[in-house]
Amino acid sequence: MRAMLLLTVILGMGAPCAFAQTAAERAACSGDFKKLCPGVAPGGGRVLGCLSKQKDKLSDACRQVVEKHGG
């Protein structure tokens, strides 16, 4: 539920890493999201799900953020 709320709030701000809570977390995952999940429509946990499925391809910083948010 928390991830969905964060997703909604951040999407309203136009952030590319929808589940991230802080500017630092958004920055950590922005490049990974654009590279690995370009066709993923935000909402319903899809961004976190996409990044979670590709943990082996994530930057170290983004991997830490994804794991922090339950991915």
Give the closest residue to 31 by CA, choosing from 46, 13, 51, 6.
51
Contact by Cβ (8 Å): 47, 33: yes
* Residues of the domain holding 63: 2-68
Work out how many domains the chain is built from and give that number.
1
pLDDT digits (tens, 9 = 90+) for 8-56: 444 444 444 456 578 898 899 999 999 999 999 877 888 889 999 999 9
Global pTM?
0.69
Write down the pLDDT at residue 10. Answer: 44
Give the closest residue to 2 by CA, choosing from 57, 70, 52.
70
CA distance 43 to 24: 21
